[in-house]
Amino acid sequence: MKVKKIGIVSRYDNHGALDMAGKILQTFEKRVDILLSPKTAEHLGREDIAVPVESMRSAGAELVLSIGGDGTVLRNISKMEDPLPVLGINMGTLGFLVDVQPGEAISAIENVLEGFTYTERSRLGVLFNGKPLPPATNEVVFITARPAKILTFRVSVDESLVEELRADGVVIATPTGSTAYAMSAGGPIVDPRVDAFLIVPLAPFKLSARPWVVPATSSIKVEVTIPEKEAVIVIDGQHSYNIKDNDVVTLTRAKNPARLISSSVNGFYEKVQSKLA
């Protein structure tokens, strides 16, 4: 079925990304209804079609074109309670979530407008002392708020203690995030089709601390257990919150997944090989 309405969200601090957004708008606005995020619309002088990304679904958009890098994709997904399918156009450097190179953008969009499929990626739902925070598509990172200091963490899975460790921090990642921070910290690369989450210590102060792969149906609880030391929880590199002793962060599978459109004929393994060669 042909697509009738799309949303476009661009990095607005990148002239190349804004130029690409303008080119897409000019090429397709007579063929499909287009909504622009407010900042993109402001820079293109088209405030008449400005709609926040979090409202694009209710405004009738069927997908979102995200123009930037992986961070732009993650930021846009985090704003949507029930994320629309996203096609990432790469105006950054290395990217696993941005599937389309600038020179291929127009032809890729042409194909997508004729009909598209997408994959669903599990996200991490986050409760901070019972209060919901934005879900994570890639990972939730716990790190010390003070450089060159280490923290003591208690990590439990379904009420069973997994680790109590002194470390720089710990990464809880989805399979999508297994090729991001978790991989840099020594975690395994996980096929996105695997229904699991990762627990990866950051520079642990004991040799026995190793990454864990746990079922995505698990409830993961992380506590900082040393008094008077503050830590920071960072969600997808986009949202940061201070946590301290006796605070409890609980992670479970989020209700709504991320949805990613792929225009590439290459599968996950080919993408990993090409990105990490």
- Domain positions in the chain: 5-121+257-276, 124-253
Give me the average pLDDT of each 10-residue run along the chain (277 residues).
95 92 97 97 96 98 96 95 96 82 94 95 97 97 84 93 91 96 95 96 88 97 80 95 91 97 76 78
Pick the CATH number of 5-121+257-276 from 3.40.50.720, 3.30.70.60, 3.40.50.10330, 3.40.50.150: 3.40.50.10330
Q: Do domains 5-121+257-276 and 124-253 have the same CATH topology?
A: no
Model pTM?
0.92
What are the CA-CA distances from residue 206 to residues 83, 153, 201, 210, 230 (Å)? 40, 13, 10, 9, 21
Q: Which residue has the tokens 């809880």?
A: 172
Q: Residue 70 belongs to what H/E stretch?
A: helix 70-79
Residue 269 is predicted with a pLDDT of 85
158 closest CA partner among 103, 188, 199: 199
Q: Which residues are part of the catalytic machinery?
A: 70
Residue 35 is predicted with a pLDDT of 98
Give the CA-trace dihedral at 169, 175, 181, 187, to 10 degrees: 70
Residue 99 is predicted with a pLDDT of 83
**Contact 260/118 with Cβ under 8 angstroms?**
yes
Residue 245 is predicted with a pLDDT of 82
Architecture of the domain spanning 124-253: Sandwich (2.60)
**Contact 133/235 with Cβ under 8 angstroms?**
yes
Q: 127-136 burial string, b = 16+ CB within 10 Å, else e?
A: eeeeeebbbb
